[in-house]
Amino acid sequence: MTETLLEIDDLSVDYETARGDLKALRDIAFDVRKGEIVGIVGESGCGKSTLISAILRLVAPNTRFRKGEVRFKGQNLLQNSERQMRSLRGGEISIVFQDPMQTHNPVISIGRQMVDIQHRSTASKAEKRDKAAQMLAAVGIPDPVVRLRQFPHEFSGGMRQRIAIAMALMSGPDLLIADEPTTALDATLEVQIIERLKELQKDVGCAILFISHHLGVIAELCDRVVVMYAGAVVESGTVREIFHNPKHPYTRRLIECDPGHIKERARILPTIPGEVPDLANLPKGCIFRDRCEQAMDRCATMPPLARLSEGHNAACWLNHEEVPA
């Protein structure tokens, strides 16, 4: 079996607020193996962003790690010093953020930013500039040597996001975290960036943790998928299992509501009725119960994330034969 790179083990994270503790992540467990692409999918408020912040330890002051571990190459990042984390970020772990408009410094040329980001390298400035030009070419920016002299506002949104991906890959990371990197782009650019990312991932050989609410992108890019709802993992499995044999009602509803899966013309796009529960005041039992059309009495008890087959897990009583004691 391929070596595990990142392990999230029983991770629970709260935000302390005036209303009480907001239980942003609860008992999260999954892993990312070397060279694989894992997608995290779920509605807004499901905990995707908190999960990334927790992995990178870039958290708000009111964040409390209640339990669990985040292991990268076997080392628990939650016990690392800030200095150790700084050396990992932008080195072995890189990130691409959602908004390409805010990724770059607007008053510094792209070339200088791409040279500066290689500050750990002992190469000469000319070599660093050559490498920057090579990476720009690799992400499909024409005339890279000329374009290194330009400033961020001289590039389109799609090009800026390509440059952000180039910069994230320059350190040769083992893990690239991509936080909704195509959400701000139109559909054509999204397809181009996903294709390019797939090619580059093969070249660099890194694993990718790809966060998105866009199921089509997840299906196109990823090997495995983790479905999150209200701060918990409700299902995980291979792309085939999640999209062709989903076992959690929330996953099924997400797929039904995805515009890519709607065959007939519709004036109003379908949505999942109801709202994500208040994380400061979570309901008892299954967290999806208030929105689930198949809810039953036993759902008043929290279903465990049960193993349905090798690598396919779901937290729903519909997949259990026995009524819980």
- From residue 288 to residue 317, the character string flagging contacts with ligand SF4 as x (rule: CB under 6 A) and all else as - is xx--x-xx---x---x------------xx
Q: How many residues bind ligand SF4 (CB under 6 A)?
A: 13
Of 154-162, 190-198, 265-273, 286-294, the window that binds ligand SF4 (rule: CB under 6 A) is 286-294
Of residues 158 and 249, the one with the C-beta less far from ligand SF4: 249
Q: What's the closest the beta carbon of residue 156 comes to ligand SF4, in angstroms? A: 43
Query: What residues are paired with 238 via a beta bridge?
Result: 224
Of 39-47, 71-79, 270-278, 282-290, the window that binds ligand SF4 (rule: CB under 6 A) is 282-290
Residues 109-168 that bind ligand SF4 (CB under 6 A): none
CB 67 within 8 A of CB 54: no
Among 59, 191, 257, 318, indicate the residue that binds ligand SF4 (CB under 6 A).
318
CB 290 within 8 A of CB 284: no
Work out the widest C-alpha separation in the chain, in whole angstroms.
69
Among 286, 305, 312, 313, indicate the residue that binds ligand SF4 (CB under 6 A).
286
Of residues 30 and 250, the one with the C-beta less far from ligand SF4: 250
- 158: part of which helix (H) or strand (E)? helix 157-169
User: For residue 185, which amino acid is it?
Assistant: L
Q: How far is CA 94 from CA 129, 134, 173, 208, in A?
A: 20, 19, 6, 10
- DSSP E strand boundaries for 50-144: 63-72, 75-76, 93-96
Rounded Cα–Cα distance for residues 233 and 149 (Å): 45
Q: What's the closest the beta carbon of residue 285 comes to ligand SF4, in angstroms? A: 7
Residues 6+ apart with CB under 8 A from 186: none
Q: What's the closest the beta carbon of residue 302 comes to ligand SF4, in angstroms? A: 8
Based on the shown chain and the rule CB under 6 A, indicate whether residue 30 belongs to the binding site for ligand SF4.
no
Query: What residues are paired with 20 via a beta bridge?
Result: 17
Quote the tokens at residue 154.
């001289």
Rounded Cα–Cα distance for residues 286 and 35 (Å): 34
Which residue stretches of 170-207 are H helix? Answer: 187-204
Of residues 195 and 256, the one with the C-beta less far from ligand SF4: 256
Residues 202-261 that bind ligand SF4 (CB under 6 A): 248-249
Q: What's the closest the beta carbon of residue 219 comes to ligand SF4, in angstroms? A: 22
Q: What's the closest the beta carbon of residue 233 comes to ligand SF4, in angstroms? A: 13
Q: What's the closest the beta carbon of residue 4 comes to ligand SF4, in angstroms? A: 29
Quote the tokens at residue 24.
């942003």
List interacting residues with ligand SF4 (CB under 6 A): 248-249, 286, 288-289, 292, 294-295, 299, 303, 316-318
